[in-house]
Amino acid sequence: MDTYMSLTLNGNNPENSIKKAEAFIKKLDRLLSAHDKSSEIFKLNNSGRKSLSPDSLSVLKSALKYYRLTDGAFNPAMLPVTTLWGFPDKKYRVPDSSEVLKALKLAKPEEIKINGSTVKLGVIDMKLDLGGIAKGYASQKTIELLKKEKVDSALINLGGNIQTLGKKPDGSLWTVAVENPNKNSSYLGQLKISDKAVITSGGYERYFKKNGKTYHHIIDPENGYPAVSGLKSVTIISDNGIQADALSTALFVMGREKAVEFWKTSKSGFDFILYTDNGKLLISEGIENSFYSDLDYEVINE
Amino acid sequence: MNKRDFIAIGAVLILSAIGFLFFAFQPKGGASVKISINSDVQGTYPLNENRTINIKTDGGFNTVVIKDGSVFIKDADCPDKYCVKQGKINSGSIICLPHRMTVEITDQQQPDAVAR
Nearest CA to A261 out of A70, A96, A93 is that of A70
Predicted confidence at residue B71, as pLDDT, reads 94
| Three-class secondary structure of residue B15 per DSSP | helix
Set of chain A residues whose Cβ sits within 8 Å of the Cβ of B112? 8, 155, 168, 174-176
Closest to A177 in 3D by CA, of B32, B35, B37, B91: B32
CA gap A196, A249 in Å, rounded: 18
In a domain, B38, yes or no: yes
Q: Is B49 on the interface with A (CB under 8 A)?
A: no
Tally DSSP H helices, then E strands, for chain B.
2, 8
B52 touches chain A (CB under 8 A): no
Of A128, A29, A53, nearest to A88 (Cα)? A128
- A9: phi then psi, degrees, rounded to nearest 5: -150, 165
| Percent of chain B whose pLDDT exceeds 70 | 72
Q: What pLDDT band is residue B20 in, cutting at 50, 70 and 90? A: very low
Q: How far is B42 from chain A (nearest CA, A)?
A: 7
Are the beta carbons of A179 and B114 separated by less than 8 Å?
yes
Angle value at C-alpha B98, between B92 and B99, nearest 5 degrees = 75
- Confidence check: pLDDT of A214 > 80: yes
Give burial (CB, 10 Å; 0-12/13-18/19+) of A226: buried
Is residue A244 one of the residues assigned to a domain?
A: yes
pLDDT (0 to 100) of residue B30:
65
Q: Using CB atoms, which residue from A8, A185, A235 is nearest to B115?
A: A235
The CATH number linked to A95 is 3.10.520.10
Using the Cα atoms of residue A247, residue A249, residue A250 and residue A256 in order, give the sign of their dihedral: positive
For an interface test with B, the pick among A179, A186, A199, A233 (most B C-beta atoms closer than 10 Å) comes out as A186
B48 and B20 in a common domain? no
pLDDT at A101: 97
List, in sequence order, every residue forming a beta bridge with A51; answer none if it has no partner: A118
User: If pLDDT is split at 50, 70 and 90, which confidence band does B8 have?
Assistant: low
Strand A112-115 to A5-10 pairing: unpaired
- What is the least distance, in Å, from the CA of A197 to any CA of chain B? 10
Q: CB distance from B43 to chain A under 8 Å?
A: yes
Task: Determine the structural domain holding residue A42 and report its residue range.
Answer: 5-131
**Would residue B56 count as lying in a domain?**
yes
Q: Which residue of A has its CA nearest to B41?
A: A294
| One domain, residues B13 and B50 | no
Q: Predicted confidence band at A226 (pLDDT cuts at 50, 70, 90)?
A: very high
User: What is the distance, to the nearest Å, from the Cα of residue A244 to the centroid of all Cα atoms in its chain?
Assistant: 7
pLDDT averaged over every residue in chain B: 78
Q: Which of B41, B45, B113 sits opposite A176 (nearest CB)?
A: B113
Interface test with B, best of A8, A139, A165, A175 (most B CBs within 10 A): A175
Q: Are A20 and A149 in contact (CB under 8 A)?
A: yes
The pLDDT score that the predictor gives to residue A245 is 97
Kindly state whether residues A76 and A121 are assigned to the same domain: yes
Cβ of B63 under 8 Å from any chain A Cβ? no
Is the pLDDT at A255 greater than 90? The verdict is yes
The Cα–Cα gap between A70 and A227 comes to: 15
Q: Tell me if A235 sits within 8 A of A271, measured CB to CB.
A: no
Contact between A76 and A128 (Cβ < 8 Å)? yes
**With the C-alpha atoms ordered B105, B106, B112, B116, is the resulting torsion angle positive or negative?**
negative
pTM score, whole prediction? 0.78
Q: What pLDDT is recorded for position A199?
A: 98
Of residues A161, A199, A294, nearest to B41 (C-beta) = A294
pLDDT at B103 exceeding the cut of 90:
yes
B115 and A200 within 8 Å at the Cβ level: the answer is: yes
pLDDT at B26: 36
Cβ-defined contact of A190 to B111 (cutoff 8 Å): yes
- Say yes or no to pLDDT of B9 above 60: no
| Selection from A26, A56, A55 nearest residue A43 by Cα | A56
Classify residue A155: in a domain, yes or no: no
Per-residue pLDDT band for B107 (boundaries 50, 70, 90) equals: low
Average pLDDT (B84-103) is 90
3-state DSSP call for residue A74?
A: coil
pLDDT of residue A266: 87
Res B4: pLDDT: 58
- A178 and A143 Cβ atoms separated by less than 8 Å: no
| Residues B23 and B36 both lie in one domain | no
Q: Is residue A139 part of a domain?
A: no
Are B68 and B99 within one domain?
yes
Across the interface, of B42, B43, B115, the residue whose CB is closest to A176 is B115
Pairing of strands A112-115, A270-276: unpaired
Predicted confidence band of residue B27 (pLDDT cuts 50, 70, 90): very low
Cβ proximity of A206 and A241 under 8 Å: no
> Same domain for A166 and A120?
no
**Span A280-286, mean pLDDT?**
96
Structural domains of chain B, count: 2
> How open is the CA angle A226-A2-A174, to the nearest 5 degrees?
90
Query: How far apart are alpha carbons A180 and A273 in whole angstroms?
Result: 12
Q: B44–A294: do the CB atoms touch at under 8 Å?
A: yes
Mean per-residue pLDDT of chain A:
94
Phi/psi of residue A66, nearest 5 degrees = -75, -25
A180-196 average pLDDT score: 86
Average the pLDDT over A55-67 and give the result. 97
Give the residue on B whose Cα is nearest the Cα of A158.
Answer: B115
Residue B97 in this model has a pLDDT that exceeds 50: yes
pLDDT of residue A184: 54
pLDDT at residue B21, as a whole number: 45
* Side chain identity, residue A20: K
| pLDDT tier at A269, thresholds 50, 70, 90 | confident
Domain with B53, as residue range(s), is 32-106
Specify the pLDDT at position B44: 80
Report the percent of chain A where pLDDT is more than 70.
98
Q: Are residues B24 and B7 in the same domain?
A: yes
pLDDT of residue A259 exceeding 60: yes
Cα gap A2→B112, rounded to integer Å: 22
- Shortest Cα distance, chain A CAs vs residue B40, angstroms: 9
Domain-located, residue B67:
yes
Instruction: Decide: A192 and A173 in contact? Cβ < 8 Å.
Output: yes
Give, in order, the Cα–Cα distances in Å from B39 to each of B36, B80, B94, B100: 5, 21, 13, 8
Q: How confident is the model at residue A281 (pLDDT cuts 50, 70, 90)?
A: very high
